[in-house]
Every structure is written in structure tokens, then in C-alpha cells.
Structure 1
Amino acid sequence: MKKFLSLGVGVLLLSGCGLFGGREAALTPDQQMARYIAHAHKVDAASNFAPPPANPKKAKAGIYTSLGAAYLQEGHPRQAIRELQRAIADDSGYADAYNVMGLAYAQLQQDAAARGAFHRALSIDRKNPEYRNNYGAFLLHSGDYAGAVVELKKATEDPLYSTPQFAWTNLAQAYAGLKEMSSARNALNRALYLVANYPPALQMLAEMDFREGKADAAFAHLQVVLAQEPDNARALLLAGRIAAQQGRTAQARSFWQRCVNASPYSVAGKQAQRLLLQNG
């Protein structure tokens, strides 16, 4: 699964935990289980060999975890937790369920419960880089920058991690929290080496460049971000600030109005509204 919680520039990322996707998500766990078993039997009959026996409890835990992840992506963490509790009831060693539960509790700002869930996931699968990234991002947004660096570096060092750009960008934020700006830039450059024009990394580079007085470089980064994410409220807000600083008032107002239209109740959207009033 891809990212679903945006907290600042960094992101919390969900591991790929589902057995089914697409239209299967509309089925109940029991219905999905029935289809899973029927499909397994059909494959068995067609292939003329007997596969290892399935573990129904683990399969059902995977289904509940997929449903919990879907609820969380849709902004319903409490419903997600209920599904994840069902997953754990079927298989108390199902690490993905604890990982997603940590993210759900973090969204509810129940930090102790989130920390416990992440610890449980890592106790089951200590080397999983996605769990490390998620836990590191949780520590980052809890203000434990040093702890976040430890976890996120472990995630970036795993050669099998399929989306390391996430961890490198989170690591950059952790270094920035420690005021280690050179290390933060190096981490962002690493993310962009792995995935060219990765928007969260470019967004953070733009913010760093703007603070250092490099407005043109910052604006160039933001143009690339907005070409991919035209409704990115934070990018629109900063692009408007740069345009205003450089005397392009009409363009600044256009960026701020787009920011308000895209996300009126976000922090960026509220700031854009204030700037529009001040520069009316």
C-alpha cells in the first residue's frame, strides 16, 4: 500500500498487507474467505498437484487487516482498529495487523497505544523496513528526532525495501529536527536519486531553499511538485509567498486562491486566506 497519512512533509506509510484488492474489498471477510478457498481448489484441480495446506486463520487475519487498512485510508481509524482487532483474534502473530494498528492509533493521537502496536509488529518481524519506516515516522512526529533517525536509518539500509524514498524523506525531516541540515539535504538527494522528482522530497528542498534565501531554486522545485500535484496546498502557499516576495502580486494571489480552493480548512489554506485578505 502507498502512503495515506500526510504529516508535514514526511509521511507514514502502510505496508502491503492485503490478500485482495479492488472489487474484493466490498465482500465480507467470510465471503472473501469462501472465494479464496474456491480459487485455491480450482488452481489445485487444474495443476494436478497438491499445494501445502492453507492456514485459514492467517488468511482471514490478512483479510481483516486489508479491510482495516482500507478504513484507515478513508479516514476512519476507529473502524480500522475494530477490523485489526479481529485480525489479531484470528492470528495473534500477524505482524501487519499490528503495524496498521500503530498507524491507526497514531492518527487518533493515542501515542502509547501506537508505540505498543509498532513494538509488537517489530518484535514479530524485526527486519521489516516498512515497519521501521512507520515507527520512525511516528517518532519523528512525536518529536523524538534522535529515535526517529535510528529507526529510519535501519529502514534505508535494507536493500530489499521496495520504497526507500519514503524513509529517506522522513530521515531528512528527522535530521532537520536535529538542526543537522547538511545531513537532511543529503537524505533528500538520496530520495531524489532513487525516484526523480519525488514530490515530498522536492517540497522539503523548496522549503529549505526558501529559508536560506534561494527563492528561485525553491520556486523551480515547487513548479515540478505542482506539475504532479496541482492541489498540493503547502506547495501553492509557498509558491505564492515567493511570487509576492518577487513582486508578482497577481500570480501570488492566484497561487493562494488555488490553495484555498484545494484545502480551505488546512493550515496552509487558512494561511492563504489571511494572505489574500492582507494583499487584497
Structure 2
Amino acid sequence: MSLLSGLSGCANQSAFAEGESGSRRELATSSDQTEAQRRASIRLQLAVGYFGQGQLEVALDEIKQAVAANPELADAYSVRGLIYMDMDENRLADDNFQRALRLSPGNPDFSNNYGWFLCQSGRPKESIVHFEAALKSRAYQSPAKALANAGVCSLKFNDTVAAERYLLQAFQFDASNPLTNASLAKLAYDRNDLERARFYIGLVLKADAPNAEALWEAIKVERKLGDTAAETSLVTQLRRRFAGSPEFAAYQRGAFDE
């Protein structure tokens, strides 16, 4: 799941600049940046671009130059945390996420990203407080993302009540999010609420090309519902597109209830 959700702009510099008289303050704009801050911003944007292309070492080098130009650039540390997360450098990722939050306390994007990192690195219970912090921020523009993440991470420590609450709220904000819908489908399937499971996994299948996990979940739903034609069609897709996947291997050995 991509977490690069936009940079926080002026989070690392004063939000206001003095007016001409020096007696009042105005909203800061790019013209208020120093030359060093502008260089850092350019390097950061380059790093984001390289990160999006999967060129992690080049992205890290650009981040290094951004931080050299502006050591207070909180966005740089958050992006570096995401890069290290992709590289499975968990200690370095943790250090950078925490540095970003120290420089920009309460930044909702940073809180969400750090929460997702904690969840993915085996600390899902610790992640929830960070998703909640993001959701409490009036400045947060992506509540569906933090809600979906909180739902998925609640499932990791078997709090299905909280997971369903978060996921249903996420669905209200964004009914097309595949992560939300796949997670709601799994919850429904585990309760044997098969029609509801079919509804949610169907939304995933109607979106962009579904992954092997979504196809496998849909196969299990249709098998339990007894729709042989639908199951066969889904199995054909899974075999054609993901023949080497763990999901197709599970289908081959009949592991429908694992």
C-alpha cells in the first residue's frame, strides 16, 4: 500500500511572515523561503519522484542533500522513513518517523505513516494511537486512509469490533477503497455472512485489476455460496494471472479454511 500522501508544505517553517512594516504577520508563501530552503524543497521533490519509481538509493541520496540544505525539513525525515520502511531498515525508519513528528508535532500525515510502519513491523497495538492522532486533526485531508489502516491493524491483534467500526467509517468516506472493502469482506466471511462478503469483495473485483488475495477471497465466498460458475471464472483468472502465487497454491491443495 502506498503511503506517500503528499508533503506537508510549510510544516517545517513558520506559517507566517512579517509584513513590510514588521508590525503584522502574513501567511508564508514560497517567496518567503531562503535559498537553502528552496534547494531543500527541490531535492525533496526529486526524492519523492525517485521513490515513486522504486529507485530507493537515489531517493535516499536526494533526501541527504535536502537535509543538508535544511536540517529542519520535517517532510524529508518522513519520506526517508518511508524509504527505509520499504528497505526493511526498521530501526532507521523508526528514527526518521519520530524525528519528523518531533519537528512537526501533530502532523496527521506523519502520524498515519508512523502508525502504518508500526503495524507492518509487528507492533499493531502501538499503531492505533497514531491513527487516532491523525483522525483528531482538523487539518487532516485523508481520514479514510487512517480509518482503513486502523481497521486493518486492529485485525492484526484480533480486535474485530474495533476493526469493523473503523472500516465501516472508512467505507462512508470512500466506498471504492480496495483495502477497506477487502477487509470488510474478510470480516463478513469469517462470520459466515456470505452475501455481505460477496458484496464487499465484488467492489474490489470491479475496481482496477484485483490482486491474488482478492481473487482468492472471492473464490472462497463463491464456493461457500455454491455458485460453481462464478467460482470457476475466478479460478481461471487466478491461474492465468497469478499461477505462482501462494493463493493459487492454496487453491490447488484445497486449503479453503486455512
Per the TM superposition, whether the score is higher than 0.5 is yes
**Helix, strand or coil for the counterpart of 1:17?**
coil
Map 1:157-176; keep pairs closer than 5 Å: 157-176=136-155
CA, structure 1 residues 177+91, in 2 after alignment: closer, same or farther (shift >3 Å)?
same
Shift of 1:52: 4.7
- Partners of 1:187 and 1:278 in 2: CA distance: 32
Q: Partner residue of 2:182?
A: 203
- What are the Cα deviations for residues 10-69 of structure 1, in whole angstroms up to 9, with x where unaligned? xx52241399xxxxxxxxxxxxxxxxxxxxxxxxxxxxxxx9554222122122212212
- Partners of 1:275 and 1:253 in 2: CA distance: 12
- What are the Cα deviations for residues 74-123 of structure 1, in whole angstroms up to 9, with x where unaligned? 22322221111111111111111110100110111110000000011111
Q: How many residues align?
A: 235
User: Does 1 or 2 have the higher relative contact order (CA < 8 Å, sep 6+)?
Assistant: 1
Look up the equivalent residue of 2:246 and give its one-letter code. K
Runs ≥4 residues deviating over 4 A? 260-265, 276-279
Worse-matched range after superposition: 61-70 or 119-128: 61-70
Look up the equivalent residue of 1:201 and give its one-letter code. T
**Helix, strand or coil for the counterpart of 2:7?**
coil
**Helix, strand or coil for the counterpart of 1:16?**
coil
Q: Partner residue of 1:270?
A: 246
Q: Partner residue of 2:78?
A: 99
- Partners of 1:174 and 1:18 in 2: CA distance: 24
Answer whether contact 1:72 1:104 (CA < 8 A) is retained. yes
CA, structure 1 residues 202+231, in 2 after alignment: closer, same or farther (shift >3 Å)?
closer
Correspondent of 2:103 among 95, 103, 124? 124
Answer whether contact 1:169 1:187 (CA < 8 A) is retained. yes
Structure 2 residue 65 is the aligned partner of structure 1 residue 86:
yes
Q: TM-score, normalised by structure 1?
A: 0.76
- Partners of 1:18 and 1:118 in 2: CA distance: 14
Shift of 1:145: 2.0
Answer whether contact 1:98 1:117 (CA < 8 A) is retained. yes
**Helix, strand or coil for the counterpart of 2:140?**
coil
CA, structure 1 residues 73+261, in 2 after alignment: closer, same or farther (shift >3 Å)?
farther
Correspondent of 1:246 among 209, 212, 225? 225
CA, structure 1 residues 274+250, in 2 after alignment: closer, same or farther (shift >3 Å)?
farther
Cα RMSD of the aligned pairs, angstroms, is: 2.3
Answer whether contact 2:242 2:248 (CA < 8 A) is retained. no
Shift of 1:250: 4.2
Q: Partner residue of 1:145?
A: 124
Identity %: 26
Q: Partner residue of 2:207?
A: 228
Structure 2 residue 30 is the aligned partner of structure 1 residue 13:
no
Look up the equivalent residue of 1:75 and give its one-letter code. G
CA, structure 1 residues 83+264, in 2 after alignment: closer, same or farther (shift >3 Å)?
farther
Answer whether contact 2:178 2:204 (CA < 8 A) is retained. yes
- Partners of 2:203 and 2:144 in 1: CA distance: 17
Worse-matched range after superposition: 224-233 or 243-252: 243-252
- Partners of 1:127 and 1:278 in 2: CA distance: 48
**Helix, strand or coil for the counterpart of 1:161?**
coil
Q: Partner residue of 2:24?
A: none
Look up the equivalent residue of 2:6 and give its one-letter code. G
Gaps of 5+ in 2: 10-29
Worse-matched range after superposition: 109-118 or 198-207: 198-207
Look up the equivalent residue of 2:7 and give its one-letter code. C
Answer whether contact 1:18 1:66 (CA < 8 A) is retained. no
- Partners of 2:59 and 2:232 in 1: CA distance: 40
Q: Partner residue of 1:212?
A: 191
